[in-house]
Amino acid sequence: MKIQAKAIIFDQGNTLIIDPFSGILELHKHEFRGLCAKYGVEVSEKELTDQWIKANREVDFPYLSHFMQEEPIVQRALAGLKVAEETAAQLGLELLKEYRACYQAFIRTDPRSAEVRETLGELKKRGKRLGVFSNDRVLGLGMALNLMAIRPLFEYVETSESTGFEKPDPRVFEHIIAHFGLAPEEIVYVGDDQIRDIDAAKKHGLKAVWYKVDSRRYSEPWRDYEIRGQCRADAGVNSFSELLAVLE
């Protein structure tokens, strides 16, 4: 049975974009190590990536972008490597700049970006109003949407930074409903998180589609897929293009 909806709102992280962090580190660890050597920091690729992954798991605060990476994460990794503060102040910025360049290239060339773009385009052709709300920084979401060439498809683009509240705060869904001027049941929220996305949307009368992420392959302290919510999603999908078969 298809879900009828006039508006579809998407989460960003692990819905529109699958977390590229570990893949980028693995593909570009040689370049990152080379930057360290430039500053006289002699570490192995494994030592560097291990500390960076550890820092990425430990550092978390409102609006932090784990996908795009932030300086506090990089600085925590360098501290774990016992890099002198005066060196870390410069090296951290270079590592972050290199990571973000790799991040941009990854999104532009990832075949999944084309899948997302084509799916959203088809939903738009069907007359659906589209939006996105992410617990992220304005810069992080804006960069991702522009790199994927999907920004013009959305009439509603908001983040926890721009609004001042994070999912599952009820104000997120009140804000969405007020913008679209529709009955809650005419809006579908698509997301990967059972608590922040599915439960929160359903408790406010919206319909919800669960984007399933393999918990055996992906687990972070801020995104525990073993936790199950109280509400049942109206549907679940394993790939983005499956939404075309689910939404009417």
Tell me what pLDDT residue 63 has. Answer: 85
DSSP 218-246: --BTTB-TT---SSPPSEEESSGGGHHHH
- Over range 200-223, report the average pLDDT: 79
Q: Residue 157's beta-bridge partner residues? A: 132
Query: Half-sphere exposure of 100 toward its Cβ, with a 13 Å CA cutoff?
Result: 16
Tell me what pLDDT residue 225 has. Answer: 57
> Angle at CA 225, nearest 5°, toward 106 and 21?
20
How do residues 54-86 score in pLDDT, each as one tens digit?
999 999 888 889 999 999 999 999 999 999 999
Q: Return the domain boundaries, the chain.
A: 7-18+111-246, 21-108
> Angle at CA 134, nearest 5°, toward 191 and 179?
95
Tell me what pLDDT residue 217 has. Answer: 57
Q: Pick 7-18+111-246's CATH classification: 2.170.150.20, 3.40.50.10240, 3.40.50.1000, 3.90.850.10.
A: 3.40.50.1000
Work out whether the CA dihedral 15, 16, 21, 24 comes out positive or negative.
Answer: positive
The pLDDT > 70 percentage for the chain reads: 94
More confident residue, 220 or 76: 76
Predicted confidence (pLDDT) at residue 223 exceeds the cutoff of 70: no
How do residues 145-173 score in pLDDT, each as one tens digit?
999 999 999 999 999 999 999 999 999 99
CA gyration radius for the chain? 19
Q: Largest Cα–Cα distance of the chain, in whole Å?
A: 61
Q: What are the b/e assignments for 86-115, b being 16+ CB within 10 Å?
A: eebeebbeebbebbeebbeebbeebeebee
